[in-house]
């Protein structure tokens, strides 16, 4: 559709009516009266009718002008709102950023990072989609999340690119008064005699652990099964068994009742990574949040 007038022409029409004077409207818009008159004439030509009756002493809306004025105000308001929304995104002053994340990362890492980001950008909305490993990348692929924090898998979906964040090792955790709280390094073979708590089979973390235990030929059997690490932490704090959890989670737990013991044998860890759409440009706000997350994981990796 070829619209024969612009938003500036609409603004001229509204300003003339609101000020009641061509002279005042021209001064407000910083244009000459002749330029103002030309723009109004352009709008009237496009509409196909006269909008304003002008005499030497006054101006008045025509019947068509009265009918057109409410629509003109809506168009100008919508344009100004759209312009401000775009500026908010460009200037990192407002807008919204959506990311998808592992639940454990969303629980134990992101609150501090997003809290610091919010101090500098209080008007930027942050949406965190904390879901299971099977769902995380799909949000990025569909464009519903600007980036994601996931656990590395053997196959990366086409069209996505990853940035390694850190190797997150596993430890044996339990409450400080649990019979298995004391001692040094734990060998995989010792797990067979412990009241072990595991994550459900849908968990990527669970698959890493099961592969490790299988390779170590241990006969460890689980006593409790939960679906999320945050749930496991709650059970462990209640003194119910022992669990193998990521070191990152252990550092993030606020409770002082949990203790951990290192695991003996080949390196047991999960690789965390940041996932983006290949070739996609992040919004300025998302890019800044991404850089803060990368910096946070750099520090976490140093402390590991």
Band of pLDDT at residue 217, cut at 50, 70 and 90 = very low
Same domain for 57 and 106: no
Structural domain harbouring 113: 96-166+271-303
Band of pLDDT at residue 198, cut at 50, 70 and 90 = confident
Cβ atoms 124, 99 nearer than 8 A: no
Tokens 């929304």 locate to 85
DSSP run (H or E) holding 3: none
Q: What is the CATH number of the domain that holds 200?
A: 3.40.190.290
Same domain for 286 and 242: no
Q: 263: which DSSP letter?
A: B
Same domain for 259 and 234: yes
Instruction: Write the burial class of residue 151 (CB in 10 Å: 0-12 exposed, 13-18 middle, 19+ buried).
Output: buried
Q: What is the CATH number of the domain that holds 100?
A: 3.40.190.10
* Nearest-5° Cα angle at 13, 10 to 16: 145
Scanning the chain, the segments in alpha helix (DSSP H) are: 7-19, 22-29, 33-47, 63-91, 103-108, 110-120, 133-141, 204-215, 229-237, 247-252, 284-303
Condensed to tens digits (0 to 9), the pLDDT of residues 227-240 reads 888 889 899 999 88
Whole-structure pTM value = 0.67
Residue 150: name the closest of 169, 131, 173 by CA: 131
Condensed to tens digits (0 to 9), the pLDDT of residues 18-69 reads 999 999 999 999 999 999 999 999 999 999 999 999 887 788 999 999 999 9
- For residue 2, being part of any structural domain is answered with no
Same domain for 291 and 160: yes
Tokens 């949040």 locate to 289
């Amino acid at each position: 559709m070829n619209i024969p007038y612009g938003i500036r022409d609409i603004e001229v029409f509204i300003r003339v009516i609101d000020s009641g004077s061509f002279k005042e409207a021209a001064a407000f818009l910083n244009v000459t009266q002749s330029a103002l008159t030309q723009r109004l004439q352009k709008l009237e030509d496009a509409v196909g009718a006269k909008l304003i009756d002008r005499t030497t002493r006054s101006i008045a809306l025509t019947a068509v002008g009265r009918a057109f004025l409410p629509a003109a105000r809506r168009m100008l308001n919508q344009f100004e709102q759209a312009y401000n929304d775009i500026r908010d995104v460009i200037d990192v002053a407002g807008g919204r950023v959506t990311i998808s994340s592992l639940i454990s990362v969303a629980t134990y890492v992101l609150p501090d990072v997003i809290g610091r980001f919010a101090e500098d950008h209080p008007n930027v909305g942050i949406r965190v989609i904390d879901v299971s490993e099977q769902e995380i990348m799909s949000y990025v692929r569909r464009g519903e999340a600007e980036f994601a924090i996931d656990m590395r898998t053997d196959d990366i979906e086409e069209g996505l690119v990853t940035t390694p964040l850190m190797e997150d090792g596993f430890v044996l955790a339990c409450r400080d008064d649990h019979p298995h709280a004391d001692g040094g390094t734990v060998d995989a073979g010792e797990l067979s005699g412990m009241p072990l708590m595991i994550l459900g089979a849908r968990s990527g973390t669970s698959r890493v652990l099961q592969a490790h235990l299988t390779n170590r030929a241990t006969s460890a059997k689980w006593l409790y099964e939960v679906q999320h690490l945050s749930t496991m932490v709650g059970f462990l704090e209640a003194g119910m068994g022992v669990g193998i959890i990521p070191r990152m989670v252990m550092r993030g737990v606020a409770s002082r009742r949990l203790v951990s013991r290192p695991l003996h044998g080949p390196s047991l860890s999960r690789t965390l990574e940041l996932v983006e759409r290949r070739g996609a440009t992040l919004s300025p706000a998302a890019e800044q949040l991404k850089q803060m997350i990368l910096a946070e994981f750099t520090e976490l990796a140093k402390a590991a």
